[in-house]
Structure formats: C-alpha cells, structure tokens
Amino acid sequence: MAFSPSGSRRGTIVRPSRLKGKPLKRRRCFRLRNLLSTNLCILAFFFCALLFLFVILTQNIPKPQNLHRPHHHPFSRSRNPNSSLLEARVDITTKDLYDRIEFLDVDGGPWKQGWEVSFKGDEWDGEKLKVFVVPHSHNDPGWKLTVEEYYLQKSRHILDAIVQTLSKDSRRKFIWEEMSYLERWWRDASASKRDDFIKIVKNGQLEIVGGGWVMNDEAFLCLSSIGRSDLLISPFAALMFTCPGRCFDTRDGL
C-alpha cells in the first residue's frame, strides 16, 4: 500500500519499469553489443558487397582488352628515345660472331692430336733451345664422364701408376693438382700405398701444385671462389703430408 499526497489511503500499482529503468537500458545495450559481435563477419560481408555494388554502379565498368594489339614479349623493355645517344660504338659484337665464325669440333682434331707447331731449321742456331717436359695431372672432376666414373676408370689408376713408377726410380718426377681425386684415392688406398705416396712427396719427386679441390680457371672466376677451392682442402693436405706448400701451377686457364 502507498499513501497519496493528500493523505488519503488508496491503492496504486507501481510499475517495475519505473524502478528499474537504468538496468533495463544496460541490458539492451549489452544485447546489442552481443548481436554485433556475433554477426560481425556477416555485417562486414554485406558492407563490402554494398560498397562493391556502389563502385560498379557509380564508376565506369572497365572494357575488355583489345585482342588486336601487337604482342609484346614479357621481358622486353620499351626503347628509350635517347638510348642511341648512350650506346657505345663497337666494331664487333660477340652475338654476331656466332653467325660468322664456323666452330668445328672434328673428332681427332687438334684437341686430341695436338696443334701443328712448325719452325725453321736455322731458327735456333744462335741460341740453344731449352725444352722443359713436366709430367702433370689434368683430371677434371666431371667433363664427359661423371666424377665417380672418372675416378673409377682413370684417376685411380693414374695415381696408382704414379706411386709405383716414382717409387722405383728416384729420378722421375710428377706434379699433381686436383685434390678432390687425391682425397678419394687416399681413402681407398692401402697403408703401404699411403706410405709410398708420402715418401715420394718428401723426396721432392711428387709435388702438389695449387692444391685446390679442383683445377680452377683464372679467366671466369672471382677471387672468393678460388679461395674457397683452396681452403677446402688445406686441412686435409696439411694433415696428410705435414709439409708446407711452396708452388702454384695451373694449366686450365686461357
């Protein structure tokens, strides 16, 4: 029961909304936030769809590409109108030489039979001709055969023959370059062959020249590549021979 202001006693109904108005508003805001958070992806999709339709309707629709345009290579560059001023004058280009020079690789040619070298009979009358014959290795790790095929068919037998021949005759000498094949041969060689090999090295009959993993070229390589080839095998050579190197030699350059 409630009392009226006039003091008269009469029954009145008090609505709950009047007493709890603020909590109801909070509940409504909370429900709205939950609705937006749970349906955020759907709302974002519809918003993007409306934005796409708005752009299509208000902007010009792109026309299909002209199929009759000249085809341009994807790697071609537009020619600079001033490029003729920047180009250097040359007499010969290597690209043109491929069409003008006939490259012959006849079987049995100079690469196998040797180059034809001639001289006049009286050319060396005033000075004695000195000829230096240096037996050397030229075992490329991979050319017409694989590295393994070269080792099994040729390089292994060459090293066996070197050790056997130089051990019998102390006057004979040889120089070796490719440490990749030598390291492989060293792993397969017997203890007696290793001892004979070290003996001919210390006697000065066999020299390790260069001492790189391969016989590198000098014309097309950078200094870092040559250094990596040499440093790769240096610990193995020092451990195997225990003698410092003093010479460098190569025969595969230009």
Q: CA-CA distances (angstroms) from residue 4 to 14, 17, 42?
A: 13, 20, 54
Please identify every stretch of the chain with a pLDDT value under 50, giving residue numbers as ranges. 1-20, 67, 73-76, 253-254
The DSSP bridge pattern shows strands 9-10 and 2-3 to be antiparallel
pLDDT of residue 11: 45
pLDDT of residue 193: 95
The domain limits of the chain are 27-58, 147-241
Euclidean distance between CA atoms 174 and 213, whole angstroms: 18
pLDDT of residue 9: 45
Domain 147-241 adopts which CATH fold? Answer: 1.10.1240
pLDDT of residue 85: 52
Euclidean distance between CA atoms 238 and 8, whole angstroms: 121
Q: Confirm if 186 and 194 have CB atoms less than 8 A apart.
A: yes
End-to-end alpha-carbon separation of the chain, Å? Answer: 119
pLDDT of residue 197: 94
Q: Long-range contacts made by residues 23-31, C-beta under 8 angstroms, separation at least 24? A: none
Euclidean distance between CA atoms 150 and 159, whole angstroms: 12
Euclidean distance between CA atoms 88 and 77, whole angstroms: 19
Euclidean distance between CA atoms 243 and 208, whole angstroms: 11
pLDDT of residue 143: 82
Give the helix/strand (H/E) hosting 217: none
Spatial CA neighbour of 197 closest among 209, 212, 207: 207
Q: Confirm if 215 and 183 have CB atoms less than 8 A apart.
A: no
